Amino acid sequence: MSHRTTAARAHPGAFDHPALFYRNPREYVTGVRGFVRDALRAAEPVLVAVPGPHLAALRRALAADGAGAAEGIEFVDMARLGRNPGRILAALQEFADRHPGRSVRIVGEPIWPGRSPAEVREATRHEALINTAFAGRAAGILCPYDTTGLPAAVVADARRTHPTLIEAGRPADSPAYADATTVCADCDTPLPEPATAAPVLEYAAGELARVREHTQAWVRGSALDPARRDDLVLAVSEAAANSLAHGGGRGTLRLWAAGTGAVVAEVHDDGRLTDPLAGRRRPPVASGDGGRGLWMIHQLCDLVEVRALETGLTLRLHMVTG
């Protein structure tokens, strides 16, 4: 299958995943509006998931040519949906699933200036996994990248995660494109140590209640509000349960404060992540565990950093108040 695309998809009914490189707001609006217009002409459902300010600009532009009120366009603020990049893929797949038997178009902007390096790394992993999750599916997913506002390394990674690039309005195959396995392995860099020492709790089979009690006691002294405290306890409990079931029957937990109102929980075990999509797509109801714990963790946390290394599997769960 060719990955080459144009403003109107070159292969309707196939999967296309181009990156739109833009240098200014005019190029951004022109490129995205053309993609959406083509979808409307083809009667394809459209999801536009971009950060709030861009969302407003696109609404105005599409309304100006009559497309904004068209049935079939769904607008979502990516700054909220994609606060944790690990949530995005499930949302995109759920949108496609709501339109069975139809080709869909999605504008997804998971990386924008101001994202932290940790968020960018997990969003890059997400971009690579789109190619796995949507392979063989009738969909077009356009991902805008601000080439003037983003670091050069981020733009370089976009060339690796997108089969097609659109630059200055012209599409071309990306010579740097790499498969998801390679990109995800490159994302598995060692995590930095916390700024202050974080005591280690070791746990083993039969000690899940101890993990919960330890987390509850620690989080009472944090800046998290009561609802977010409960979310953190549940997320840590799910991560520790995965350690006991799939990570060699034991693991370690560290908890520390990370800036005003933020906390981090790190769970490490001897497990292996055999399915890189685990947790990033909603598991079927009848699937038993099947990634359900990881999926819940992604839904509860503001950021989940995943590292699958020779030394085992590490999850860093970030939570902020509010």
Per-residue pLDDT reduced to its tens digit, 221-234: 999 999 999 999 99
- Mean pLDDT within 124-145: 96
Domain boundaries, the chain: 15-187, 200-320
Task: Of 58-62, 202-206, 256-260, 308-312, give the range with the top mean pLDDT.
Answer: 202-206
Encoded tokens for 6: 């144009």
Residue 50 has pLDDT above 60, yes or no: yes
CA distance readout (Å), 157 to 22, 34, 121, 150, 254:
15, 24, 10, 11, 31
Query: What CATH number has the domain spanning 15-187?
Result: 3.40.50.300
Distance (Å, whole) CA 297 – CA 276: 15
272 Cα distance to chain centroid: 20
Share of the chain above pLDDT 90, in %: 80
Give the residue-averaged pLDDT of 236-244. 95
142: left (phi > 0), else alpha (psi -120 to 50), else beta? beta
What is the average pLDDT across 158-171?
A: 96
Contact 293, 239 (CB under 8 A): yes
pTM (2 d.p.): 0.92
Query: Does residue 158 carry a pLDDT above 60?
Result: yes
For residue 292, is pLDDT > 70? yes
- Residue 67, pLDDT score: 55
CATH class of 200-320: alpha beta
pLDDT the model gives residue 5: 38
pLDDT (0 to 100) of residue 66: 72
Name the burial class of residue 261, with classes exposed (0-12), middle (13-18) and buried (19+) by CB atoms within 10 angstroms of its CB.
middle
- pLDDT on residue 14: 84
